[in-house]
Structure 1
Amino acid sequence: MDLTSSNHCKWGGVTCKDGLVTAISLPRQTFRKPIPPSLCLLKNLTYLDLSYNNFSTSFPTILYNCSNLKYLDLSNNAFGGKLAADINSLSAKLEHLNLSSNRIMGEIPPSIGWFPKLKSLLLDTNQFDGSYPAKDISNLANLEVLTLAENPFLPAPFQVELGKLTRLTYLWLSGMNMTGEIPESLSSLTELSLLSVSNNMLQGTIPTWVWQHKKLQYLYMFANSFTGEISSSVTAVNLVELDVSSNNLTGTIPDDFGRLINLTMLFLYTNQLHGSIPPSIGLLPNLSDIRLFEDMLSGSLPPELGKHSPLGNLEVCNNNLSESLDGCYRLNNLMLYNNHFTGEFPKSIWSVVTNELTTVMIQNNNFSGTFPTQLPWNFTRLEMSNNRFSGPIPTLAGKIEVFRAANNSLCGEIPWNLMGISQVTELDLSGNQITGSIPMTIGVLKLNALNLSGNQISGTIPAAFGFTSGLTILDLSSNALSGEIPKAINKLKLNFLNLSMNQLTGEIPTSLQNEAYERSFLFNPGLCVSSNNSIPNFPICSARANNNNDISRRLIALFLVLASIMLVGSAVGGFLLLKRQKNTQDPLSWKLTQFHALHFTEYDVLSGLCEQNWIGSGRSGKVYRISVVDGEGGSRMVAVKKIWNAQNLDSKLEKDFLAEVQILGEIRHINIVKLLCCISSSEAKLLVYEYMENGSLDRWLHQRDRVGSLAPLDWPTRLQIAIDSARGLCYMHHDSSPAIVHCDVKSANILLDPEFRAKIADFGLARILLKTGDPESISGIGGTFGYMAPEYGYRLKVNEKVDVYSFGVVLLELTTGRVANDGGLEYCLAEWAWRQYQEYGLSIDLLDEDIRDPANIEDAFAVFTLGVICTGGQPSVRPSMKDVLYALLRFEHKSRERSPQHVVSEEMSLLES
Structure 2
Amino acid sequence: MKKTTLIFLHFSIYISTFFHLLSHANSQLSAQEQGILQNLKKLWGNPKPLKHWIPTNSSSHCSWPEITCSSGSIIGLSFRDYNINGTIPPFICNLKNLTTIDVYNNSFHSTEFPRALYNCSKLEILDLSQNYFYGAIPDDIHHMSQLRELSLGGNNFDGNISASIGRLTGLRKLVIISCPLTGSFPPEIGNLSNLEELSLASNSKIVSTFPSEFGKLKKLKFLWMAETNLIGEIPNTIGKMEALEKLDLSKNSLTGKIPKNLFMPKNLRIVYLHMNKLSGEIPPVVKAFNLDVVDLSENKLTGTIPDDFGKLINLTGSLPPELGRYSMLETLWVSTNRLTGQLPEHLCDNGKLVEVIASENQLVGELPKSFGNCNSLELVKIYRNNFSGNIPSGLWTSLNLKMLMLNDNSFTGELPERLAWNLSQLEMNNNRFSGKIPQGVSSSRNLLVLKASNNLFNGMIPQDLSHLTTLLLDRNQLSGSIPLDINSWKSLNTLNLSRNAISGQIPEELGSLPSLTELDLSENQLSGLIPSKLGLLKLTSLNLSSNHLTGNIPSKFENDAYAHSFLNNPGLCANRPSRSLNLKTCNSRLQNSSQTSYKLIAWIIGLVVAVLLGLFISFFVIRNHKKGKHRLHLTWKLVSFQQLNFTESDILSGLTANNLIGSGGSGQVYRVVINHSGDIVAVKKIWNNRKLEEKLEKEFLAEVKILSSIRHANIVKLLCYISSDNSKLLVYKYLDNHSLDRWLHRKSRATTFSSSVNHVVLDWPKRLRIAVGAAQGLSYMHHDCSPPIVHRDVKSSNILLDLDFNAQIADFGLAKILIKEGEPATMSAVAGSFGYIAPEYARTTRINEKIDVYSFGVILLELTTGRKANDGDEHSSLAEWALRHIQDGKPIGDILDEEVKEPCHLNEMCHVFRLGLYCTSTQPSTRPSMKEVLTVLLQCSQPIKNREKNATTTMFLPS
Say whether 1:117 aligns with 2:170: yes
Distance 1:415 1:204, change over 3 A: closer
Whole-angstrom distance in 2 between the partners of 1:476 and 1:15: 69
CA apart distance, 1:227: 2.4
CA apart distance, 1:485: 0.9
Whole-angstrom distance in 2 between the partners of 1:232 and 1:528: 70
Distance 1:10 1:222, change over 3 A: same
Whole-angstrom distance in 2 between the partners of 1:524 and 1:248: 49
Whole-angstrom distance in 2 between the partners of 1:192 and 1:15: 32
Whole-angstrom distance in 2 between the partners of 1:489 and 1:341: 41
One-letter amino acid of the counterpart of residue 11, structure 1? W
Say whether 1:405 aligns with 2:452: yes
Distance 1:31 1:389, change over 3 A: farther
CA contact (8 A) 1:349 1:355 kept: no
CA apart distance, 1:170: 2.0
Whole-angstrom distance in 1 between the partners of 2:311 and 2:517: 51
Say whether 1:158 aligns with 2:200: no
CA contact (8 A) 2:481 2:504 kept: yes
Give the equivalent residue in structure 2 for 1:173.
225
Give the equivalent residue in structure 1 for 2:357.
315
Say whether 1:305 aligns with 2:347: yes
Say whether 1:376 aligns with 2:428: no
Say whether 1:288 aligns with 2:359: no
Q: How does 1:181-580 map to 2 (within 5 A)?
A: 181-232=233-284, 234-266=286-318, 277-283=319-325, 285-318=327-360, 319-326=362-369, 327=371, 328-351=374-397, 354-393=399-438, 394-395=441-442, 397-418=444-465, 420-421=466-467, 424-425=469-470, 427-439=472-484, 441=486, 445=490, 447-466=492-511, 473-491=518-536, 496-513=541-558, 517=562, 519-530=564-575, 533-534=578-579, 535-536=581-582, 538=584, 540-541=586-587
CA apart distance, 1:36: 4.3
Q: TM-score, normalised by structure 2?
A: 0.52
Give the equivalent residue in structure 1 for 2:196.
144
Write the deviation string for residues 249-289 of structure 1: whole angstroms up to 9, x where unpaired. Answer: 221111111122122344xxxxxxxxxx4321132534332
Give the equivalent residue in structure 2 for 1:619.
none
CA contact (8 A) 2:572 2:583 kept: no
One-letter amino acid of the counterpart of residue 416, structure 2? F
One-letter amino acid of the counterpart of residue 365, structure 1? S
Distance 1:520 1:158, change over 3 A: closer
Structure index of larger Rg: 1
Whole-angstrom distance in 2 between the partners of 1:223 and 1:200: 7
Whole-angstrom distance in 1 between the partners of 2:60 and 2:74: 11
CA contact (8 A) 1:369 1:390 kept: yes
Whole-angstrom distance in 2 between the partners of 1:170 and 1:189: 10
Whole-angstrom distance in 2 between the partners of 1:253 and 1:239: 16
CA apart distance, 1:452: 0.6
Give the equivalent residue in structure 2 for 1:34.
87
One-letter amino acid of the counterpart of residue 88, structure 2? I
Say whether 1:63 aligns with 2:112: no
Whole-angstrom distance in 2 between the partners of 1:465 and 1:844: 33
Distance 1:523 1:70, change over 3 A: closer
Write the deviation string for residues 744-789 of structure 1: whole angstroms up to 9, x where unpaired. Answer: xxxxxxxxxxxxxxxxxxxxxxxxxxxxxxxxxxxxxxxxxxxxxx
Q: How does 1:696-715 map to 2 (within 5 A)?
A: none
Write the deviation string for residues 165-221 of structure 1: whole angstroms up to 9, x where unpaired. Answer: 222222223333333333333333212112233333333221111133322222222
CA contact (8 A) 1:438 1:461 kept: no
Gaps of 5+ in 1: 267-276, 549-842, 862-913
CA apart distance, 1:70: 1.5
After superposing the two structures, state which structure 1 stretch, 239-248 or 524-533, moved more.
524-533
CA apart distance, 1:246: 2.6
- Tell me which protein shows more helix as a share of its residues: 2
CA contact (8 A) 1:386 1:407 kept: yes
CA apart distance, 1:101: 2.5
Q: TM-score, normalised by structure 1?
A: 0.54
CA contact (8 A) 1:482 1:503 kept: yes
Give the equivalent residue in structure 1 for 2:694.
none
Whole-angstrom distance in 2 between the partners of 1:515 and 1:160: 61
Give the equivalent residue in structure 2 for 1:18.
71
CA contact (8 A) 1:395 1:415 kept: no
CA apart distance, 1:494: 5.2
RMSD across aligned positions (CA): 3.7
Give the equivalent residue in structure 2 for 1:701.
none
Say whether 1:84 aligns with 2:149: no
Whole-angstrom distance in 2 between the partners of 1:291 and 1:13: 43
Larger RCO of the pair (alpha carbons < 8 Å, separation 6+): 1
Whole-angstrom distance in 2 between the partners of 1:127 and 1:854: 33
Distance 1:424 1:74, change over 3 A: same
Whole-angstrom distance in 2 between the partners of 1:446 and 1:544: 42
Give the equivalent residue in structure 2 for 1:48.
101
CA contact (8 A) 2:263 2:284 kept: no
CA contact (8 A) 2:260 2:284 kept: no
Please state whether the residue corresponding to 2:191 is helix, strand or coil: coil
Whole-angstrom distance in 2 between the partners of 1:452 and 1:251: 43
Q: How does 1:638-649 map to 2 (within 5 A)?
A: none
CA contact (8 A) 1:234 1:257 kept: no
CA contact (8 A) 1:436 1:456 kept: no
CA contact (8 A) 2:478 2:501 kept: yes
Distance 1:310 1:448, change over 3 A: same
CA contact (8 A) 2:225 2:249 kept: yes
Give the equivalent residue in structure 2 for 1:815.
none
Whole-angstrom distance in 2 between the partners of 1:385 and 1:288: 29
Whole-angstrom distance in 2 between the partners of 1:85 and 1:442: 71
Please state whether the residue corresponding to 1:282 is helix, strand or coil: coil
Whole-angstrom distance in 1 between the partners of 2:84 and 2:419: 52
Q: How does 1:753-792 map to 2 (within 5 A)?
A: none
Please state whether the residue corresponding to 2:324 is helix, strand or coil: helix
CA contact (8 A) 1:306 1:329 kept: no
CA apart distance, 1:7: 1.4
Please state whether the residue corresponding to 2:400 is helix, strand or coil: coil
Please state whether the residue corresponding to 2:323 is helix, strand or coil: helix
Whole-angstrom distance in 1 between the partners of 2:269 and 2:820: 51
Whole-angstrom distance in 2 between the partners of 1:210 and 1:407: 45
One-letter amino acid of the counterpart of residue 366, structure 1? F
Write the deviation string for residues 68-117 of structure 1: whole angstroms up to 9, x where unpaired. Answer: 12222222333332222222233x22111111232211112222122231
Whole-angstrom distance in 1 between the partners of 2:820 and 2:313: 53
Matched positions, count: 549
Distance 1:533 1:9, change over 3 A: closer
CA contact (8 A) 1:105 1:126 kept: yes
Give the equivalent residue in structure 1 for 2:21.
none
One-letter amino acid of the counterpart of residue 323, structure 1? E
CA contact (8 A) 1:102 1:126 kept: yes
Distance 1:167 1:408, change over 3 A: same
